[in-house]
Amino acid sequence: MKPRHCLSSLLLLVSVSAFSGQVKTEDGAVKLATDAIHKFHLTTLEDECGLIDVLEKPAYFEIVVRERHTPDCGGSLETAPRLFNVRVRKRDGRLTSDVYDGVSYKPVDRKLGLAR
Protein backbone atom coordinates (compact mmCIF):
# COMPACT_ATOMS: atom_id res chain seq x y z
CA MET A 1 0.00 0.00 0.00
CA LYS A 2 1.33 3.42 -0.92
CA PRO A 3 1.81 5.94 1.88
CA ARG A 4 -0.78 8.64 2.28
CA HIS A 5 0.25 12.26 2.14
CA CYS A 6 -1.28 14.97 4.28
CA LEU A 7 -2.31 17.99 2.21
CA SER A 8 -0.69 20.42 4.64
CA SER A 9 2.71 18.78 4.26
CA LEU A 10 2.38 18.99 0.49
CA LEU A 11 1.87 22.75 0.52
CA LEU A 12 5.63 23.18 0.74
CA LEU A 13 5.97 21.32 -2.54
CA VAL A 14 3.36 23.28 -4.49
CA SER A 15 4.77 25.36 -7.29
CA VAL A 16 3.19 28.73 -7.99
CA SER A 17 4.47 28.83 -11.52
CA ALA A 18 2.65 27.34 -14.49
CA PHE A 19 3.72 23.84 -15.43
CA SER A 20 3.98 22.33 -18.84
CA GLY A 21 5.65 19.23 -20.16
CA GLN A 22 5.95 15.65 -19.08
CA VAL A 23 5.18 14.51 -15.56
CA LYS A 24 7.57 11.71 -14.70
CA THR A 25 7.26 11.33 -10.94
CA GLU A 26 4.59 10.99 -8.28
CA ASP A 27 5.96 14.11 -6.60
CA GLY A 28 5.48 16.11 -9.81
CA ALA A 29 1.91 14.83 -10.14
CA VAL A 30 1.14 15.66 -6.51
CA LYS A 31 2.51 19.18 -6.97
CA LEU A 32 0.23 19.79 -9.94
CA ALA A 33 -2.82 18.28 -8.24
CA THR A 34 -2.42 20.17 -4.96
CA ASP A 35 -1.83 23.42 -6.82
CA ALA A 36 -5.07 22.89 -8.77
CA ILE A 37 -6.98 21.91 -5.61
CA HIS A 38 -6.01 25.21 -4.02
CA LYS A 39 -6.29 27.40 -7.13
CA PHE A 40 -9.77 26.18 -8.04
CA HIS A 41 -10.99 25.62 -4.45
CA LEU A 42 -11.96 22.01 -5.16
CA THR A 43 -12.61 21.28 -1.49
CA THR A 44 -13.58 23.28 1.56
CA LEU A 45 -11.52 21.05 3.85
CA GLU A 46 -8.62 22.55 5.75
CA ASP A 47 -5.34 21.11 4.45
CA GLU A 48 -4.64 19.21 7.67
CA CYS A 49 -7.98 17.41 7.25
CA GLY A 50 -7.19 16.02 3.81
CA LEU A 51 -5.20 13.01 2.61
CA ILE A 52 -3.84 12.13 -0.80
CA ASP A 53 -3.17 8.65 -2.17
CA VAL A 54 -1.24 8.30 -5.42
CA LEU A 55 -1.72 5.45 -7.89
CA GLU A 56 0.49 5.21 -10.95
CA LYS A 57 -1.17 4.04 -14.15
CA PRO A 58 0.56 3.64 -17.54
CA ALA A 59 -0.66 6.98 -18.95
CA TYR A 60 -1.43 9.03 -15.85
CA PHE A 61 -1.12 9.39 -12.08
CA GLU A 62 -4.38 9.00 -10.17
CA ILE A 63 -4.53 11.31 -7.16
CA VAL A 64 -7.20 10.17 -4.70
CA VAL A 65 -8.30 12.95 -2.33
CA ARG A 66 -9.78 11.74 0.96
CA GLU A 67 -11.01 13.17 4.23
CA ARG A 68 -8.60 12.73 7.12
CA HIS A 69 -10.46 12.00 10.34
CA THR A 70 -8.79 13.12 13.56
CA PRO A 71 -10.07 14.57 16.82
CA ASP A 72 -9.46 18.07 15.39
CA CYS A 73 -10.98 17.33 11.98
CA GLY A 74 -13.86 15.22 13.20
CA GLY A 75 -15.29 12.06 11.71
CA SER A 76 -14.80 8.40 12.52
CA LEU A 77 -11.10 7.68 13.07
CA GLU A 78 -11.43 4.32 11.29
CA THR A 79 -12.49 5.84 7.97
CA ALA A 80 -11.06 8.13 5.30
CA PRO A 81 -13.86 8.71 2.77
CA ARG A 82 -12.93 9.49 -0.82
CA LEU A 83 -13.92 12.98 -1.91
CA PHE A 84 -12.76 12.98 -5.52
CA ASN A 85 -9.93 11.95 -7.83
CA VAL A 86 -7.59 14.02 -9.99
CA ARG A 87 -5.81 12.46 -12.96
CA VAL A 88 -2.49 13.93 -14.07
CA ARG A 89 -1.62 12.87 -17.61
CA LYS A 90 2.06 11.91 -17.82
CA ARG A 91 2.79 13.13 -21.33
CA ASP A 92 1.73 16.75 -20.78
CA GLY A 93 0.50 17.32 -17.21
CA ARG A 94 -3.15 17.80 -18.22
CA LEU A 95 -5.46 17.58 -15.21
CA THR A 96 -8.92 16.03 -15.19
CA SER A 97 -11.14 15.24 -12.22
CA ASP A 98 -14.45 13.73 -11.22
CA VAL A 99 -14.93 16.51 -8.62
CA TYR A 100 -17.53 18.37 -10.67
CA ASP A 101 -20.15 15.63 -10.87
CA GLY A 102 -18.64 12.62 -9.07
CA VAL A 103 -18.80 10.47 -12.20
CA SER A 104 -17.07 11.72 -15.33
CA TYR A 105 -13.58 13.16 -15.64
CA LYS A 106 -13.55 16.73 -16.91
CA PRO A 107 -10.71 19.26 -17.27
CA VAL A 108 -9.73 20.98 -14.03
CA ASP A 109 -10.19 24.56 -15.15
CA ARG A 110 -12.86 26.18 -13.00
CA LYS A 111 -13.96 26.56 -9.42
CA LEU A 112 -16.34 24.09 -7.93
CA GLY A 113 -19.90 25.32 -8.08
CA LEU A 114 -21.03 23.70 -4.85
CA ALA A 115 -18.88 23.21 -1.75
CA ARG A 116 -17.89 19.62 -1.10
Residue-level pLDDT at 48: 93
Residue-level pLDDT at 111: 76
* 8 A C-beta contact, residue 62 and residue 85: yes
Residue-level pLDDT at 42: 94
- The model's pTM: 0.78
94: three-class secondary structure by DSSP? coil
Nearest partner of 6 among 72, 96, 94, judged by Cα: 72
Quote the Cα angle for 87-93-97, to 5°: 25
Beta bridge mates, 50 = 67
**Mean pLDDT, consecutive 10-residue segments, the chain of 116 residues?**
54 39 93 94 92 96 95 91 96 95 91 55
Q: Tell me the residue type at 20.
A: S
Domain boundaries along the sequence of the chain: 5-97
